[in-house]
Amino acid sequence: MPDSTQVNTNTKGIAQNTYDAIVIGSGISGGWAAKELCELGLKTLVLERGRNIEHIKDYPTMNTPIWEFRHRGSITRKQRDENPFISKAAGYDESTQHFFVKDNDHPYVQEKPFEWIRGYQVGGKSLIWGRACARWSEFDFTAPLRYGYAVDWPIRYNDVAPWYSHVEKFIGVSGSKEGIASMPDGEFLRSYELNCVEHHLKDVLWQKFERYYVSGRWAQVTEPNEIQKKQGRQCLNRNVCMRGCPYGGYFSTVTSTLPWAKATGNLTVQPFSVVHSIIYDEKKRKAIGVRVIDANSKQATEYFAKIIFVNASALNTNLILLNSVSNRFPSGLGNDNALLGKYICHHNYRASMGGEIEGFRDKYYKVSKPAECIIPNFRNIKKQDTDFLGGYVIFSGAYREKISDRGMEPAIGADFKEALSEPGSWGAYMYMQGETIPRETNHVRLSTDKKDQWGIPLLVTSVGYDDNTDKMIKDFLEQGKAMMEAAGFKNINTFVNDWAPGLDIHEMGGVRMGRDPKTSLLNQWNQLYACKNVFVTDGACMTSTGNQSPSILYMALTARAANYAVEELKRGNL
């Protein structure tokens, strides 16, 4: 395989391979870049390293009853042995495995244990994401400066708020307006109703702790507005979202942003396109295109554009920029301060709990809702009130126990059939999503001696936990148990898993935003300081992790940056 100085084959000619904009990646943020750029009139090429996915056509298990799967949805020992990392991913099972990579097809080097969850196809992980869409608050944007654990964000909540609204109105986010300072309200569709035990938790947590327990803000079209009707989307509460939804009930790139972009006539999507690097022209002092390796033929091709959005997912974005070397940037595009690939962080999901509650036996619920409840962060908001930095949110829900949960023996005969008609007692669960603190030692870099099947250096991951994470887990276990006990729960079991980073998902950082090019790589518009026509708006841009799920922030930042980029292009500044 040729090295990076030789990958310059152009199979179609410069004119045919030239666009106004190139977007690398077709996932949550890449789809938004495509939508905005196409709507604003730019001929846009979206490069996706995986296969093509078409809405409905490529959802092979969307309507399959669980009993028709050979293993009733379970993963076999052989599959787990062949895919020891990806088979641990949340949502991975017999019905969804087609949207996840196979471990051996996409190797990387773990200097420290790191289990990287990936989905390579048009739509990326937007097909298999959790769909939580709470907004960050002003506290999240100012916390690094106030507490001194990262560089200051170059933006504040008010800079992003109108773009949150722009995104929410389009994708459809269910939720209830609650006036919570640490989790601002948005442009919501009808929220999911809490069941009786969730209402009980809501009342107890407010009365005894002055903490909120609310329906989560979820990218589910509970009641479509006009723009979701135009997209042909409506959630039927089947709660099998990660198989691919034929009704477009949850937001994904393939049901929403890419079809919208395609309708403009300005979109070209090219699957099986593994991005090797971004091409930098030293005379023009800007990026002029992208080198791509065909995933199947391994043929190299160059594509050209005036602006480039890098949305390959956080770690792959780092990989591409690190591999984009030139005389001007010998250690990676924009890497004048040697910080590219550093300050990698993620969310902390390592602890959970569950318990049982008596009563409520005369109550049930009608819908297996595809959304959870949330307890917004209550730690270190206006001041540091714990022995750790950062905060955490708690996802939660209550349910009637199923016959399959009770371990009834024998599971056959008249007694079994009779039991099927009677649900069991009520239970509830809680699990944490905690902030992790950016550290320079948590980093990724390129291998100096190992390459993938396309001749691209493998990514080396060197990311670990710290004492701050352990202290936060301890606090969650204490507070969560206290809240459940106050609500009358018994037999509360707590769990702390030993998994490696990566399974926590939400990788962030490496190409962080900041106010100073000496300490960050991107400015307030997500532009590379040292290469103004390259924008990074996926998780790689994050300065800190916050405690809310980040995907809707990526979408908002992407829409904001795309509109800015087009204005700058019109002014001749790019």
Query: Residue 289's beta-bridge partner residues?
Result: 279, 304
Distances (CA, A) of 24 to 316, 474, 529: 10, 40, 19
For residue 366, what is the domain's CATH number? 3.30.410
- pLDDT by residue (tens digit) across 448-480? 999 999 999 999 999 999 999 999 999 999 999
pLDDT of residue 2: 37
- The tokens for 560 are 């904001």
Query: Residues 145, 167: one domain?
Result: yes
On whether both 452 and 486 belong to a single domain, the answer is no
Domain count, the chain: 2
pLDDT, tens only, 104-147? 999 999 999 999 999 999 999 999 999 999 999 999 999 999 99
- Residue 417's domain comprises 179-215+350-389+391-436+465-500
Same domain, 184 and 324: no
Whether 228 maps to a domain, the answer reads no
**Residue count (the chain):** 574
Within a domain: 167: yes
Cβ neighbours around 112 below 10 Å, total: 14
Q: What is the mean pLDDT of the chain?
A: 94
Structure tokens at 260: 């919208």
**Span 6-12, average pLDDT:** 48
Does some domain include residue 154? yes
In-domain check, residue 127: yes
Q: Do both 447 and 538 map to the same domain?
A: yes
Q: Is the pLDDT of residue 429 over 90?
A: yes
- Which of 500, 516, 547 is a domain's end point? 500
| CB of 126 closer than 8 Å to CB of 251 | yes
Same-domain status, 317 and 400: no
Give the pTM.
0.95
Residue type, position 470, single letter: D
Residue 509 pLDDT exceeds 70: yes
Supply the pLDDT for residue 409: 58
Co-location of 196 and 322 in the same domain: no
- State the helix-helix crossing angle for 196-209 and 467-486, rounded to 10 degrees: 110
Distance CA 384, CA 376 (A): 16
Q: What is the pLDDT of residue 508?
A: 98
Helices assigned H by DSSP within 148-256: 157-171, 196-209, 226-231
Provide the CA 159 distance to its chain's centre, in angstroms. 21
CATH number reported for the structural domain that contains residue 457 in this entry: 3.50.50.60
